[in-house]
């Protein structure tokens, strides 16, 4: 007898991928809480570890060395990653308001979004670069490094505002890295002008005076201009790209870049949400890391202020709070008493000097700078990061029995889920979800929909205008990622692509949904998020959802029957390919191998992020563009892979083709995962098409050869256009946002019964 499915009865939502939440996710992956669905909301898929930021700036670490891959961590933890920015809370409805998603419901909430430097002077927001959020600062820093590598003799002026430990360590790292670049370029004299401004009389006032004196002397010896007791009053533009810092004393400093590293500030939406906050907007929490005003909300890291144990905003406290936060979240979910957490009063800091040396300070004691201290700091930081990089798929937790699951609603959990019509989702849930969707996303006005969601009839009714035909297609698949809203978008784009590939205009759609077993509030939330994503894409395409069917099962799945309208003589058919034409592909390949790798914790989060962005892109504009350039045949590249779908066109058109392997567009990371031998489960079946390749013996060892058989989800369009139109068509597609569009081959006359595909390796348009 199969084990009972584990119903979802509570939603734990984590806002922010800070150090505390990273630790919580790791521990949840090692020991899940039965019946709890965990969701992480983060506007980045790789969260930087602040302790290694100066080392990255100095050039000692690569990106992956000092970033926690939240995509992999969430997969390990069995959590859903929502790539979006939280912008508010609806505390009455228990919902997180997001910038690009529908509101997200929660039973328990934890906040760990860090802080940003307080830009309290005019012009700071417009003309300076805050060091937090770190991800934004690093994007600017990487651009500076690239520019210097390309033009090392160009004068460069940088100012850093803030003389605390963060600002001083940043100045040391910036100076050391840029000087190394200048030396590598053979420059005898540095074109760098680096300023450090601080309002106090000494650097790093939070530490013993000798720390500031020692590091100040090092900065001066390296040519950094120190401006102590200088209060910045404004920042303004000083030409096309220059900036001017104005100080209370009358001092002005012109520079190209200004890095802002001052006192921390909180996100404004926290105080506006109704949470109890301190005078700077940080969430007030007790010694259990629980909000003083809303006990079902927790906070940790820089964003939290412990009223009984106030501490500086430092990463060391976020790391120490991680274990305590995990314990109390578990206890809250299981309705157990919470435990107090008392942070240490004194803490050690190790400040790198940008030259593989570091200074150590704790209380009034300290030593350095010394190379051994840097090695110690490096060991500590790498040890912390290893717990998030050395991830192995965990064995599934034993199924929870309904009797010991925590409940967020009084509704009983059935001992055995029903089958047949008993597995349907209740009418009350459906009505609530559809009402919310119709209120937030009004359907396009279509006179050809006679009966749709607004009626209670047993079926939808649509009309077909005179002179047009109804084009129908259906597709259905399990969720390949945990964000139901994004999955709904991807599935709708995938299903609509069949209509675009036949030059049809979308009209309506029916949905069939399988929702994981859950209590009513969780069922409602999943269905709302899923249909919101699908309906958004349908509406953007000019179509409406007119009905469907819902059921409960072991995992999330969605399918759509899509209807479209077309003029019979304008339809694209696979049989329309003609010798001499060029083959154009509008999207990159690789989703199959990338998501196979993601399931094995072998894919980097940024690879998956790029793949998701590709799958969210509609093929509608591409189809219109291909029509303008006289395409005569088209298909969408999906489950059968590029070669499988191409063979369908070749056979129908009675032609042969030449494909250029080196011209194939490839999603970032797909080449690496193919090299590791990570393939989709459908790949072996697709590989059977290789027998149609004439020069198989010569090309089957090529690194990109497996890409021909990689199944795609929401892949691009493959079209045949006149050869003389191909270059202009590709340029037009790229201008529309299909940046991976390529000419990948040409159509040839068929020669008897020989294999119909020839592979070349030129890398130039055919």
User: In angstroms, rounded to a whole number, what is the distance separating the alpha carbons of residues 505 and 468?
Assistant: 11
CA distance linking residue 282 with residue 304, whole number of Å: 6
pLDDT band at 206 (very low <50, low <70, confident <90, very high): confident
Identify the DSSP state of 755: -
94/235 same-domain check: no
Inside any domain, residue 271: yes
CA distance 174 to 144: 11
CA distances from residue 135 to 23, 45, 208, 441 in whole angstroms, order as listed: 19, 10, 31, 33
What CATH number is attached to the domain comprising 182?
Answer: 3.50.50.60
Q: What is the pLDDT of residue 119?
A: 64
Helices and strands (H, E) in the chain, number of each type: 21, 37
Same domain assignment for residues 580 and 728: yes
User: Is 355 inside a domain boundary?
Assistant: no
Three-state SS for 500? helix
Residue 509 pLDDT greater than 50, yes or no: yes
Global confidence as pTM:
0.88
Its sign, for the CA torsion 679, 684, 685, 688, is positive
Say yes or no: 133 and 241 in one domain: yes
- Residue 645 resides in a domain: yes
Q: Which contacts qualify for 568-572: CB closer than 8 Å, 24 or more apart? A: 568/468, 568/469, 570/503, 571/469, 571/471, 571/502, 571/503, 571/504, 572/501, 572/502, 572/503, 572/631, 572/632, 572/633, 572/634, 572/719
262 phi/psi in degrees, rounded to 5: -105, -165
Where does a domain end: 264, 286, 307?
A: 264
Examine residue 294 and say whether the peptide bond preceding it is cis (omega within 30 degrees of 0): no
Q: What is the pLDDT of residues 431-486, one digit of tens each?
A: 777 788 777 777 787 888 888 877 767 788 989 999 999 999 999 999 999 999 99
Instruction: Quote the CA–CA distance of 128 and 569 in Å, as a whole number.
Output: 59
Catalytic positions: 421
φ and ψ of 624, to 5 deg: -60, -40
Report the chain's mean pLDDT, rounded to a whole number: 90
Q: Note whether residue 600 is domain-resident.
A: yes
Query: Which pLDDT tens digit goes with each residue over 260-280?
Result: 998 778 899 999 999 999 988
Beta carbons within 8 Å of 659's beta carbon, 6+ residues apart: 583, 646, 708, 744, 745, 757, 758, 759, 760
Residue 706 has what pLDDT? 95
Report residue 2's pLDDT band, with 50, 70 and 90 as the boundaries. low
CATH number (domain holding residue 465): 3.30.1330.10
Q: Are residues 583 and 598 in the same domain?
A: yes
- Give the integer Cα–Cα distance in Å for 58 and 713: 40
- Which residues have C-beta within 8 Å of that of residue 99, sequence separation ≥ 6? 84, 85, 86, 87
Q: Around 761, how many Cα atoms within 13 Å sit in the side-chain half-sphere?
A: 10
Three-class DSSP category at 528: helix
Domain count of the chain?
4
Specify the DSSP class assigned to residue 666. Answer: B
Q: At 390, is the secondary structure helix, strand, or coil?
A: coil
Among 264, 298, 331, residue at a domain's last position = 264
DSSP collapsed to 3 states, 333-370: HCCCCCCCCCCCCCCCEEEECCCCCEEEEECCEEEEEE
Strands 297-299 and 108-111: parallel
Report yes or no on 91 lying in a domain.
yes
The predicted pLDDT at position 435 comes to: 80
612 and 700, same domain (yes or no): yes
Specify whether the CB–CB gap between 691 and 574 falls below 8 A. Answer: no
Do residues 603 and 737 both lie within one domain?
Answer: yes
Measured CA to CA, the distance from residue 171 to residue 203 in angstroms comes to 12
Tokens describing residue 619: 């093929």
* pLDDT tens string 241-250: 899 999 999 9
The pLDDT, as a whole number, for residue 412 is 41
pLDDT reported for residue 408: 40
753 and 622 within one domain? yes
* Over residues 474-501, mean pLDDT: 95
Helices 19-30, 315-333: crossing angle, 10 deg rounding: 40
Question: Residue 414 falls within a domain, yes or no?
Answer: no
Are 181 and 253 within one domain? yes
- 650 phi/psi in degrees, rounded to 5: -60, -45
Tell me the pairing of strands 192-198 and 225-228.
parallel
Q: Which domain holds residue 27?
A: 10-115+266-347+369-389
Residue 405 maps to a domain? no
Task: Give me the pLDDT at residue 283, please.
Answer: 96
Q: Quote the percentage of the chain above a pLDDT of 90.
A: 75
pLDDT of residue 745: 95
In three-state secondary structure terms, 98 is strand
Q: Are residues 222 and 82 in the same domain?
A: no
Block residue for tokens 């940046």? 739
pLDDT over threshold 70, residue 152: yes
Strands 742-749 and 505-516 turn out to be unpaired
Residues 613 and 707 in one domain: yes
Tokens of 299: 């906070």
Q: How far is CA 13 from CA 48, 73, 217, 229, in A?
A: 21, 15, 47, 44
Tokens representing 325 are: 């936060």
Q: What is the arithmetic mean of pLDDT over 77-82?
A: 96
Structure tokens at 67: 């970033």
Q: How much is the CA Rg of the chain, to the nearest whole Å?
A: 29
Token pair of 271 as six digits: 């105080």
Over the stretch 364-407, which tens digit does the pLDDT of each residue have?
Answer: 788 989 999 999 999 999 999 999 988 876 554 444 333 333 34
Cα–Cα dist 569/565, whole Å = 12
Cβ-in-10-Å burial (0-12, 13-18, 19+) of 520 comes to middle
Do 603 and 703 belong to one domain?
yes
Number of alpha carbons in the 13 Å side-chain half-sphere of residue 94: 18
Last residue of a domain, one of 514, 540, 571: 571
User: What DSSP state is assigned to residue 661?
Assistant: G
CA distance 626 to 586: 10
Residue 4 resides in a domain: no
Residue 244 and residue 151 share a domain: yes
Which two structure tokens, joined as six digits, stand for 759?
């592979």
Which residues are 477's β-sheet partners? 558
What is the residue whose two structure tokens read 């790292």? 173
pLDDT at 290 over 50: yes
Cα 311 from Cα 320, distance rounded (Å): 12
Pairing mode of beta strands 582-585, 717-721: antiparallel
Per the omega criterion (within 30 degrees of 0), is the bond before 536 cis?
A: no
CATH number at residue 603: 3.90.650.10
Q: What angle do CA 312, 50, 254 make, to 5 degrees?
A: 90
Which of 383, 344, 58, 366 is closest to 211 using CA atoms? 366
Taking the chain, what is the end-to-end CA distance rounded to the nearest angstrom?
A: 58
What is the pLDDT at residue 761? 79
For residue 427, the model assigns a pLDDT of: 67
């Amino acid at each position: 007898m199969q084990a009972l499915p584990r119903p979802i009865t509570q939603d734990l939502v984590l806002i922010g991928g800070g150090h505390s939440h990273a630790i919580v996710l790791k521990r949840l992956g090692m020991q899940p809480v039965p019946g709890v669905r965990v969701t992480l909301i983060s506007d980045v898929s790789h969260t930087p570890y602040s302790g290694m930021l100066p080392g990255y700036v100095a050039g000692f670490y690569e990106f992956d060395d000092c970033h926690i891959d939240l995509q992999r961590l969430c997969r390990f933890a069995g959590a859903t990653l929502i790539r979006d920015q939280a912008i508010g809370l609806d505390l009455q409805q228990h919902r997180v308001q997001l910038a690009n998603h529908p509101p997200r419901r929660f039973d328990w909430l934890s906040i760990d979004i860090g802080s940003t430097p307080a830009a309290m002077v005019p012009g700071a927001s417009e003309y300076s670069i805050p060091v937090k959020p770190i991800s934004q600062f690093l994007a600017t820093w990487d651009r500076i490094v690239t520019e210097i590598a390309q033009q090392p003799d160009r004068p460069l002026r940088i100012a850093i505002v803030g003389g605390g430990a963060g600002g001083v360590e940043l100045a040391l790292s910036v100076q050391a890295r840029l000087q190394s670049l200048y030396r590598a370029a053979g420059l005898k004299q540095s074109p760098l002008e680096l300023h450090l401004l601080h309002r106090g009389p000494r650097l790093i006032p939070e530490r013993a005076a000798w720390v500031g004196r020692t590091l100040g002397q090092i900065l001066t010896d390296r040519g950094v201009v120190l401006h102590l007791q200088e209060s910045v009053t404004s920042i303004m533009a000083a030409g096309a790209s220059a900036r001017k810092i104005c100080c209370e004393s009358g001092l002005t400093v012109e520079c190209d870049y200004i890095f802002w590293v001052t006192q921390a500030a909180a996100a404004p939406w926290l105080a506006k949400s109704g949470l109890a906050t301190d005078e700077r907007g940080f969430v007030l929490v007790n010694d259990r890391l629980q909000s003083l005003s809303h006990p079902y909300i927790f906070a940790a890291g820089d964003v939290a202020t412990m009223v009984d144990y106030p501490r500086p905003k430092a990463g060391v406290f976020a790391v120490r709070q991680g274990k305590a936060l995990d314990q109390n979240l578990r206890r809250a979910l299981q309705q157990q008493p919470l435990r107090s957490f008392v942070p240490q009063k004194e803490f050690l800091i190790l400040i790198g000097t940008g030259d593989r040396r570091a200074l150590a300070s704790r209380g009034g004691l300290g030593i350095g700078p010394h190379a051994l201290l840097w090695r110690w700091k490096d060991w500590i930081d790498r040890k912390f990061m290893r717990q998030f990089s050395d991830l192995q798929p965990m064995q599934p937790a034993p199924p929870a029995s309904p009797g010991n699951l925590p409940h967020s609603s009084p509704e009983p959990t059935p001992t055995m889920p029903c089958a047949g019509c008993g597995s349907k989702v209740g009418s009350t849930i459906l009505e609530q979800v559809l009402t919310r969707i119709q209120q937030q996303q009004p359907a396009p006005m279509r006179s050809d929909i006679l009966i749709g969601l607004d009626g209670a009839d047993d079926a939808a009714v649509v009309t077909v205008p005179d002179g047009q035909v109804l084009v129908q297609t259906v597709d259905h698949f399990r969720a390949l990622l945990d964000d139901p809203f994004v999955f709904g978008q991807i599935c709708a784009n995938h299903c609509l692509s069949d209509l675009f590939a036949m030059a049809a205009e979308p009209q309506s759609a029916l949905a069939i949904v399988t929702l994981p077993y859950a209590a009513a509030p969780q069922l409602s939330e999943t269905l709302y998020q899923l249909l919101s994503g699908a309906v958004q894409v349908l509406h953007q395409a000019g179509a409406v959802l007119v009905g469907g069917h819902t059921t409960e099962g072991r995992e999330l799945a969605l399918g759509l029957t899509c209807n479209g309208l077309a003029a019979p003589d304008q339809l694209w058919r696979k049989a329309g390919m003609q010798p001499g034409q060029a083959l154009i592909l509008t999207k990159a390949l690789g989703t199959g191998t990338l998501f196979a790798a993601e399931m094995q914790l072998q894919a980097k989060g940024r690879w998956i992020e790029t793949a998701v962005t590709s799958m969210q892109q509609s093929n509608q504009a591409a189809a219109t563009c291909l029509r303008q350039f006289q395409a005569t045949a088209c298909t969408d590249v999906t489950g059968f892979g590029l070669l499988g779908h191409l063979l369908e066109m070749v056979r129908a058109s009675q032609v042969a083709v030449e494909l250029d392997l080196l011209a194939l567009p490839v999603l970032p990371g797909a080449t690496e995962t193919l090299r590791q031998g990570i393939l989709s489960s459908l790949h072996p079946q697709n590989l059977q098409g290789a027998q149609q390749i004439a020069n198989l013996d010569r090309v089957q060892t090529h690194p990109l050869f497996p890409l021909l058989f990689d199944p795609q989800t929401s892949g691009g369009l493959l079209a045949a256009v006149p050869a003389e139109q191909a270059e202009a068509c590709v340029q037009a597609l790229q201008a529309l946002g299909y940046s991976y569009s390529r000419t990948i081959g040409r159509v040839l006359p068929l020669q008897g019964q020989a294999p119909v595909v020839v592979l070349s390796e030129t890398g130039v348009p055919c």
